[in-house]
Chains A and B, each alone.
Chain A
């Protein structure tokens, strides 16, 4: 018999599969769009990012489309998907509730409200201006998660019913405030409306650079707490007895997950269900170990959101759907299926 091992963590297969899926999604995301670009040209334009190539025979419009429009958009989508899925996994582990999702528990709406307030005060024009938006969103996200947590907590546990109810209520409130602010101010905030439905209206590399530091920082903190999340699955009391400084760990988890969510929401709007579907799929495929569930969710989330975004762009082309509409159409039935399953089986 093979000796039982705890080192399955190092098995490379899950990463290869998820990485490959992400690479494919990235490629198609850049390749497909309103303007048809021949595959050869596309390949050369992409290769030119890594190695110096002579592109003088490529029409400049193609270069602009690929390098300055589609590529930054795809990378922003990938970053947001990674952020939403990894923070979803972290919220699920922290709350020990399989239905926690940044969107369902209201964190995303809170982040949206924070972002819209920042935008209403002053629409940013520079990169440093854009870097402020995620911080405002972060404050909104933190505020909502704390309110929802307080409202939903029953004794020592966080039942699904109260969590979802509190999430829905707080989220509706935040969304109502958001709409109110947007209706009050005319011009630029109309852009924010489209944004809230999921879909960046700011083009180019600025949103990528503005989101990148927050998402990477938040993710790395979450990943470093993978083992802590594993221990927390046995309850706070046992975690304490196993030597985890529970309160500090919970605080760090909430901060990191909310920062990650907020950065994604700031630039891609309210996109639901990615944080629910992806971690669950990964858990079913590769098991519950958070040390690898977090990076795998990030890879999977990036791929999934790119795919949803692609669908949103081609389904009714040339019209572009908000990506949040696509994720909700796929995610809501999944959520209901999960809700039914959670009653009977252990998926968790």
Chain B
């Protein structure tokens, strides 16, 4: 695998139907770190992930992998540099787990799409790593949401890329599956030196798993830095328009965020 790739977004602007979604966003994700992308709904997190993956072309600005503009890469080349974990929604139900994970090898296959021995081995490795071995021959339509999300993570890992983009991979998952997914990502980063950009809602998961945080508000990059620097009472209250309390995690030195049940000018039940 290629190691040590750096993903950088430079002055990205994206507009949709004349409305600016991303306004001059610059970010850099370095090898061996998880950069969490947080912000209220509609802040542009998903748009940023889609732009970084090359699906969406920015009106201005460039996305670069190791100083090379991704527009100069062919689709398979690009897919060998970065993989995307989308949200598990509307998956083709009759594909089996192993068939789905094998699709991660697409950028390495010949034009008829037949896997080589090496591809088979990589898929088996990834299945073991993501604890999907026992489910390998099940159809993805029969799996739970958490398992489906893990299949998509496995597919991205089978792509064997130095850069990984994740779009809210823990949304709608229970505590167990949230932790499972993020621990897998964290382990892979530590072992293989991946550069990870992770769009995520849950600020408490961010403080547990992210190395750095970028706070996106209304399409602008509001703040970027270590979790303890970005996840402050004032930043969060300003970004989300809700009053919060910050606690210290009992065992880790990570901030924990609890919204007030009342006292906020706009009553928002829970931001999570």
Q: Quick one: which of B58-82 are within 8 Å of A by CB?
A: 74-80
Cβ contact within 8 Å between B55 and A224:
no
A348: which B residues are within 8 A, CB to CB?
92-94
Is the C-beta of B246 less than 8 angstroms from some C-beta in chain A? Answer: no
Chain A 231-245: CB-based contact to B (< 8 A → 1; otherwise 0): 101110110111111
Chain A 204-223: CB-based contact to B (< 8 A → 1; otherwise 0): 00000000000000000000
Cβ contact within 8 Å between B50 and A237:
yes
Is the C-beta of B112 less than 8 angstroms from some C-beta in chain A? Answer: yes
Q: A4-B136, A242-B159, A244-B106 are in contact. Are A227 and B95 (CB under 8 A)?
A: no
Give Cα A238–Cα B133 distance, bound, in whole angstroms.
23
Is the C-beta of B98 less than 8 angstroms from some C-beta in chain A? Answer: yes
A231: which B residues are within 8 A, CB to CB?
103, 106
Q: A227-B106, A244-B75 are in contact. Are A346 and B113 (CB under 8 A)?
A: no
Is the C-beta of A275 less than 8 angstroms from some C-beta in chain B? Answer: no
Cβ contact within 8 Å between B113 and A291:
yes
Cβ contact within 8 Å between A235 and B98:
no
Please provide the 3 A-B residue pairs with the shortest distance between their CB atoms, ordered closest to farther: A227-B113, A243-B79, A4-B136
A233: which B residues are within 8 A, CB to CB?
92, 95
Instruction: Offer 21 A-B interface pairs, CB within 8 angstroms, sorted by A.
Output: A4-B124, A6-B115, A7-B120, A227-B109, A233-B95, A234-B92, A234-B100, A235-B90, A237-B55, A237-B86, A240-B53, A240-B54, A241-B53, A241-B54, A242-B159, A243-B75, A243-B106, A288-B94, A346-B93, A348-B92, A348-B94
Q: How many residues of B contact A (CB 8 A)?
A: 46
Is the C-beta of A226 less than 8 angstroms from some C-beta in chain B? Answer: yes
Q: Point out the residue from A5, A238, A243, A288 that lies within 8 Å of B86, measured CB to CB.
A: A238
Is the C-beta of A230 less than 8 angstroms from some C-beta in chain B? Answer: yes
A9: which B residues are within 8 A, CB to CB?
114
The residue on B at minimum CB distance from A238 is: B86
Is the C-beta of B111 less than 8 angstroms from some C-beta in chain A? Answer: yes
Give Cα A4–Cα B155 distance, bound, in whole angstroms.
15
Is the C-beta of B40 less than 8 angstroms from some C-beta in chain A? Answer: no
The residue on B at minimum CB distance from A237 is: B55
A282: which B residues are within 8 A, CB to CB?
none
Cβ contact within 8 Å between B94 and A234:
no
Q: Quick one: which of A138-190 are within 8 Å of B by CB?
A: none
Is the C-beta of B228 less than 8 angstroms from some C-beta in chain A? Answer: no
Is the C-beta of A228 less than 8 angstroms from some C-beta in chain B? Answer: yes
A287: which B residues are within 8 A, CB to CB?
94, 96
A228: which B residues are within 8 A, CB to CB?
113
Cβ contact within 8 Å between A288 and B107:
no
Cβ contact within 8 Å between B55 and A241:
yes
Give Cα A287–Cα B94 distance, bound, in whole angstroms.
7
B93: which A residues are within 8 A, CB to CB?
346, 348
Give Cα A6–Cα B106 distance, bound, in whole angstroms.
13
B86: which A residues are within 8 A, CB to CB?
237-238, 241
Cβ contact within 8 Å between B75 and A289:
no
Query: A246 to nearest B CB, angstroms?
Result: 8
Query: B111 to nearest A CB, angstroms?
Result: 7
Give Cα A231–Cα B99 distance, bound, in whole angstroms.
10
Is the C-beta of B141 less than 8 angstroms from some C-beta in chain A? Answer: yes
A245: which B residues are within 8 A, CB to CB?
74-75
Give Cα A245–Cα B74 distance, bound, in whole angstroms.
8
Is the C-beta of A125 less than 8 angstroms from some C-beta in chain B? Answer: no
Is the C-beta of A73 less than 8 angstroms from some C-beta in chain B? Answer: no
Give Cα A190–Cα B83 distance, bound, in whole angstroms.
59
Is the C-beta of A3 less than 8 angstroms from some C-beta in chain B? Answer: yes
A243: which B residues are within 8 A, CB to CB?
75-80, 106-107
Q: A3-B124, A4-B127, A6-B120 are in contact. Are A234 and B91 (CB under 8 A)?
A: yes
Query: B168 to nearest A CB, angstroms?
Result: 15
Cβ contact within 8 Å between B92 and A288:
yes
Is the C-beta of A283 less than 8 angstroms from some C-beta in chain B? Answer: yes
Query: B71 to nearest A CB, angstroms?
Result: 13
Give Cα A9–Cα B141 distance, bound, in whole angstroms.
21
Is the C-beta of B123 less than 8 angstroms from some C-beta in chain A? Answer: yes
The residue on B at minimum CB distance from A232 is: B92
B111: which A residues are within 8 A, CB to CB?
224
A224: which B residues are within 8 A, CB to CB?
111-112
Is the C-beta of B41 less than 8 angstroms from some C-beta in chain A? Answer: no
Give Cα A291–Cα B110 distance, bound, in whole angstroms.
13
Cβ contact within 8 Å between A4 and B98:
yes
New contact pairs (19) apart from A4-B127, A241-B55, A348-B93, CB-CB < 8 Å = A4-B96, A4-B133, A6-B99, A6-B102, A9-B114, A227-B113, A231-B103, A234-B100, A234-B103, A241-B53, A241-B83, A241-B86, A242-B155, A243-B76, A243-B79, A283-B94, A287-B94, A291-B112, A348-B94
Give Cα A283–Cα B109 distance, bound, in whole angstroms.
24
Query: B133 to nearest A CB, angstroms?
Result: 7
Cβ contact within 8 Å between B54 and A242:
no
Is the C-beta of B104 less than 8 angstroms from some C-beta in chain A? Answer: yes
Query: A279 to nearest B CB, angstroms?
Result: 13
Q: Point out the residue from A6, A238, A242 that lies within 8 Å of B98, measured CB to CB.
A: A6
A235: which B residues are within 8 A, CB to CB?
90
The residue on B at minimum CB distance from A226 is: B113
